[in-house]
Structure 1
Amino acid sequence: MDVSSISQDLATIDGQIEDILRALSNGFQKLEKIKDPNRQSRQLDELTEKMRECKRLIKEFEREWRAEESKNTTSINKMLNDRKQSMIKELNTFVALKKRYAGSLGNKRSELFDRAEVGNGPGEENVFLASSMNNQQLMDTGDRMMNETDQAIERSKKVVEDTVNVGAEAAAALKAQTEQMSRIVNELDSIHFSMKKASQLVKEIGRQVATDRCIMALLFLIVVGVIAIIIVKIVNPKNKDIRDIPGLAPPVSRKLLWDHQYYR
């Protein structure tokens, strides 16, 4: 269809319908390859929804066309009418396919519903149609299915209980590891604090040792100086450049001082 000769709204609706019809064609091709009845049912539901949307758009297409019919030429109105009939025909084809697949799917479900299996032992199976069973057989089959369901529920409960126990054990182990890590961190903090204090103590001891060495060196220099003065005084007692050391002056000096005071 030549979209250049119609309005923008009609062209947009026509494009949407074309997309849905293409999706329906691909969907039914995909449906032919599906073997599982449940998947077939879901696919058929999706295609049915698309067909409803397509039918709504066709009606909207017709409304828009009728609203503009008086403005269009005869050839354009004929083209739009042919387009509408073509879309309806294609949609009806998909509707027929949907009915055929729905009928086939309904027959499969009916067969599955009417069958019941009763096993008398390993490798033994008797198949009966539900319509041919008497009341007792139906009750026995129902009881067996309920027992199997109860057993499955019990197995599921046990699995859940085991899972909860494993989770609790994992949580306890994780908590213990977390506490152990916390203790290790505390111990590392204590070690770091002790090392810091030890470093400060070593620095203080180093400063004290340096001070003591300075004092000892000063005392050594003083002692060496005193010894040197004593030695020089002994070797050269008349040297006036060296003062007398207190307590080491000769007694003569005291006598001279006494005589000087007496004669005054």
Structure 2
Amino acid sequence: MASNLPMSQQLEQIHGEIRDHFRALANGFQRLDKIKDSNRQSKQLEELTGKMRECKRLIKEFDRELKDEEGKNPPDVNKQLNDEKQSMIKELNSYVALRKTYLNTLGNKKLELFDTGGVSEPTAEENVQMASAMSNQELINAGNKTMDETDQAIERSKQVVHQTIEVGTQTAGTLKGQTDQMGRIVNELDTIQFSLKKASQLVKEIGRQVATDKCIMLFLLLIVCGVIAIIVVKIINPNNKDIKDIPGLAPPAPSRRLLSIRAPVHY
């Protein structure tokens, strides 16, 4: 029995809600056979369609929880729970087929077509059969077909994810290369800025040295001019007492004679 399956509290709650919806669907289709008015039948089918949508959602939620807890359960428990999930999918398929049969009978084209998504659509032959007349093998075949379609959809999704991962990897590599290039550019700009600062300081120092050298050269030039002027004046007017003698240019001093005083000689 499904109620004796070892389930977690969350799985048991979802499973109970699904079973409640299945009982409501069974009672709803039984009442539908007793309704003669087509408008009331259409309204009843709309209500049943909503319950089937809710069952589909709950089965997906049951499957997600089952996958989350798969590592915590023994293999035999996982197999029992997966079998129960397949049983619920098959039961939902039977109600979907029954709904399609009533829609074909009523010929009501205004009703929104039910998107079964994870559950299979009945074939043309099943559309003209009553669900009560379907054998267990037919239900199993419909479930297997649904699983095959689901596997194909999952495989396509895996391919899309793989392609997305490849594109993401290439994009990440490109971004990393651009980031490294920007880092090198920033480092080069820092080096250039440092070089410009050093060059500016060197130019300032050279400017100060040039200014100092110019002052020294000007001072030396003034000294040389002064010396030349003195030399010229000395040559022109050597007796000018206002100009002091320059060593090496002064006229020779007159020779002085030493007067010797001799003592008188007495004979």
TM-score by length of 1: 0.52
Q: Give, as a single letter, the amino acid of the residue that structure 2 aligns with 1:178.
A: T
Q: Give, as a single letter, the amino acid of the residue that structure 2 aligns with 1:187.
A: E
In structure 2, what is the equivalent of residue 118 of structure 1?
123
In structure 1, what is the equivalent of residue 211 of structure 2?
210
Do the aligned partners of residues 138 and 235 (structure 1) sit closer, same or farther apart at CA in structure 2, a change above 3 Å counting?
A: same
| Contact kept? 1:233, 1:239, Cα under 8 Å | yes
**1:239 partnered with 2:236:** no
Do the aligned partners of residues 240 and 146 (structure 1) sit closer, same or farther apart at CA in structure 2, a change above 3 Å counting?
A: same
Q: CA RMSD in A?
A: 2.9
Do the aligned partners of residues 216 and 107 (structure 1) sit closer, same or farther apart at CA in structure 2, a change above 3 Å counting?
A: closer
**1:157 partnered with 2:162:** no
In structure 1, what is the equivalent of residue 127 of structure 2?
127
Deviation at 1:248, TM superposition (A): 0.7
| Contact kept? 1:117, 1:128, Cα under 8 Å | no
2: CA distance between counterparts of 1:107 and 1:208? Answer: 101
The 5 Å alignment of 1:1-264 reads: 105-108=46-49, 112=96, 114=98, 115=100, 116-118=121-123, 127-129=127-129, 130-251=131-252, 253=253, 255-256=254-255, 259=256, 262-263=258-259
Deviation at 1:263, TM superposition (A): 4.5
Q: Give, as a single letter, the amino acid of the residue that structure 2 aligns with 1:159.
A: V
1: CA distance between counterparts of 2:231 and 2:48? Answer: 137
2: CA distance between counterparts of 1:148 and 1:101? Answer: 30
Do the aligned partners of residues 224 and 162 (structure 1) sit closer, same or farther apart at CA in structure 2, a change above 3 Å counting?
A: same
More strand per residue = 1
Do the aligned partners of residues 103 and 137 (structure 1) sit closer, same or farther apart at CA in structure 2, a change above 3 Å counting?
A: closer
Do the aligned partners of residues 212 and 150 (structure 1) sit closer, same or farther apart at CA in structure 2, a change above 3 Å counting?
A: same
3-state SS, counterpart of residue 247 of structure 2: coil
1: CA distance between counterparts of 2:132 and 2:186? Answer: 76
Per-residue Cα deviation, 1:198-240 (whole angstroms, up to 9, x for no partner): 0011011111111111111111111111111111111111111
Structure 1 unpaired stretches of 5+: 1-40, 42-99, 120-124
| Contact kept? 2:234, 2:240, Cα under 8 Å | yes
| Contact kept? 1:117, 1:126, Cα under 8 Å | yes
Do the aligned partners of residues 207 and 233 (structure 1) sit closer, same or farther apart at CA in structure 2, a change above 3 Å counting?
A: same
Do the aligned partners of residues 222 and 203 (structure 1) sit closer, same or farther apart at CA in structure 2, a change above 3 Å counting?
A: same
TM-score by length of 2: 0.52
3-state SS, counterpart of residue 117 of structure 1: coil
Deviation at 1:106, TM superposition (A): 4.2
Aligned length: 156
Do the aligned partners of residues 263 and 140 (structure 1) sit closer, same or farther apart at CA in structure 2, a change above 3 Å counting?
A: farther
Per-residue Cα deviation, 1:148-182 (whole angstroms, up to 9, x for no partner): 00001111111222222222222222211111111
| Contact kept? 2:97, 2:126, Cα under 8 Å | no
Per-residue Cα deviation, 1:86-143 (whole angstroms, up to 9, x for no partner): xxxxxxxxxxxxxx99955444457635245227xxxxx7624432323333232222
| Contact kept? 2:234, 2:243, Cα under 8 Å | yes
Q: Give, as a single letter, the amino acid of the residue that structure 1 aligns with 2:123.
A: V
1: CA distance between counterparts of 2:128 and 2:139? Answer: 10
Structure 2 unpaired stretches of 5+: 1-20, 22-40, 53-94, 101-120, 261-267
3-state SS, counterpart of residue 153 of structure 1: helix
2: CA distance between counterparts of 1:107 and 1:234? Answer: 138
